[in-house]
Structure 1
């Protein structure tokens, strides 16, 4: 996976170069207000579900190419999702910014632009296309780059989800005190996915001020309960929902599966 990440970032550098040639924030205008996912989580009493639209991935291959993003987002919203995550990387995940636009037009929920962000121009694009939250991946960024991109996004009024995979990345991330901390349960070296990662790292997150989000591997109510008891107040669910026969039943079971008195 580290090799895959390196390959993705090399491709992303090329994409950023092309984007700077073709995109200008000044030629676009954001037409919707920025919606806060952080506030939503702090006010909620149950597990918040970030439902992801994802066509494929390097590890899983094709997941579901037949679903339309706007239609799926509406299903997610009606089922009780709290935010929609849209994977917009084209070469490796078969996503595109048009997916985010379709989702924005379909729902009024906060939207996470899930991509490998390494430059402010990508944040500009996410902003004008209607994203409310951007993802910054610690494994892809230096400390200096994390700080500058975080400040740039917050300057536009966007929220930032900082994703970590291990103790070292979490320690680095905490320097900027992000409001949204995502613990990815997928091991970048082995592909193994286990909620134990969330359980192991959660104690180093200030859950009184920060919202802990458990990412990857959420396929059962039992896993959701474990994440909740560890301190997670939101989960990011992609493949499980993209393949679910009954999306509403799955989302509702995840939301209600966590004991609200376990805070």
Structure 2
């Protein structure tokens, strides 16, 4: 199984991380860092740069699609996203399955001043410390690979370190567990991580069961204005889009074409 392979690989990565980064050193280094940018706040109503919020993803490859963008320059891509009005940026840091890198996130952090999501598979507390150290403002918590207790612990730790967390679900059982958490940010992944099948109706089906006051992000399979109109009509507040933008030659224009114009006040920023 795909997820089983990833988790097994992450366990090896965590074991190696524990030999190179001690908890004491991590805490000391984090105490010297500036406060995180507000990832959750940037996507909340009244803060988004368009009616629908955008987490734009810097993504070189994926296990299901292989190499997506051969001409891959994470900093210039991130800068294009900022010019196009992205509210937040997601950066893949998984090496073995997505050809990502911590160095990509570090470089993007130095170049832009919008909140950054570390897109990876979090299975251990030390990864959360690592995320804070490399410049992330938020982490991803995937319900499919975590117990409810793990999600509670990881969410509490992320907040203690100043990070936000995007809690990702794909089905009703995962959503029920996510709603046990004190979270204000839920991502609905339209892609089944076991079969890779993608269906935007996943967002419509799950969104009915999410109470008001939670910002809802629809993820995966979004590639047209009609997709955007549909997701807005069913109540999504924001989208996370990577592959579609990565396949376009002019990324900045692709964002404008898909998302529509920013408000006049935001366009001047």
User: Is the shorter-chain TM-score for this pair beyond 0.5, marking a shared fold?
Assistant: yes
CA distance in 2: counterparts of 1:71 and 1:58, whole angstroms = 24
Looking at structure 2, the residues matched to 108 and 142 of structure 1 have their Cα atoms a distance apart, in angstroms, of 33
Partner of 1:187: 192
Q: Secondary structure at the match of 1:28?
A: helix
User: Residue 166 of structure 2 contacts residue 187 of structure 2 at CA under 8 Å; is this kept in 1?
Assistant: yes
Q: Which runs of no fewer than 5 residues in structure 1 stay unpaired?
A: 258-263
Q: Given the alignment, which residue of 186, 195, 202 partners 2:207?
A: 202
Map of 1:4 onto structure 2: 2
Matched, 1:253 2:248: no
- 1:236 aligned counterpart, secondary structure: strand
Q: 1:36 to 1:22 in 2, by over 3 A?
A: same
Structure 1, 208-217 or 17-26: larger mean CA deviation = 17-26
In structure 2, the residue matched to 1:17 is 15
SS in 1 for 2:260: helix
Return the match for 1:221 from 225, 247, 261.
225
Cα contact 1:113–1:131 (8 A) shared by 2: yes
Structure 1's consecutive aligned runs of 4 or more residues displaced over 4 angstroms after TM superposition are none
Distance in 2, Cα, partners of 1:90 & 1:40: 28
Q: Deviations over 1:152-181 (max 9, x none)?
A: 111111111000010110001100031110
1:50 aligns with 2:55: yes
Using the size of structure 1 for normalisation, the TM-score is 0.92
- Does the Cα contact within 8 Å between 2:217 and 2:239 map onto a contact in 1? yes
**Is it true that 1:105 corresponds to 2:110 in the alignment?**
yes
Q: Take 1:162 and 1:237, find their aligned partners in 2: how far apart are those partners?
A: 16
Number of the residue aligned with 1:40: 42
* CA RMSD, 1 decimal: 1.6
After superposition, what is the alpha-carbon deviation per residue over 1:74-115, rounded to whole angstroms, capped at 9, x for unaligned?
Answer: 011111111110010011111110000011011000000000
Q: Given the alignment of the two structures, is residue 28 of structure 1 paired with residue 26 of structure 2, yes or no?
A: no
2:156 maps to 151
CA distance in structure 2 between the aligned counterparts of 1:190 and 1:114, rounded to whole angstroms: 20
Displacement of 1:121 in angstroms is 0.6
Deviation at 1:26, TM superposition (A): 4.1
Q: Tell me, what secondary structure is at the counterpart of 2:177? A: helix
Contact 1:216 1:236 in 2 (8 A): yes
Provide the C-alpha distance between the structure 1 equivalents of 2:129 and 2:196, rounded to a whole number of angstroms: 32
C-alpha deviation, 1:256, in angstroms: 2.9
Look up the SS of the partner of 2:180 in the other structure. Answer: helix
Query: Tell me, what secondary structure is at the counterpart of 1:204?
Result: coil
> CA offset at residue 27 of structure 1?
5.9
* Aligned with residue 233 of structure 1, among 225, 232, 237: 237
When residues 178 and 26 of structure 1 are mapped into structure 2, their CA distance, relative to the original with a 3 A threshold, is: closer
Q: Name the stretch that deviates more: 63-72 or 173-182.
A: 63-72
Q: TM-score, normalised by structure 2?
A: 0.90
The number of aligned residues is 255
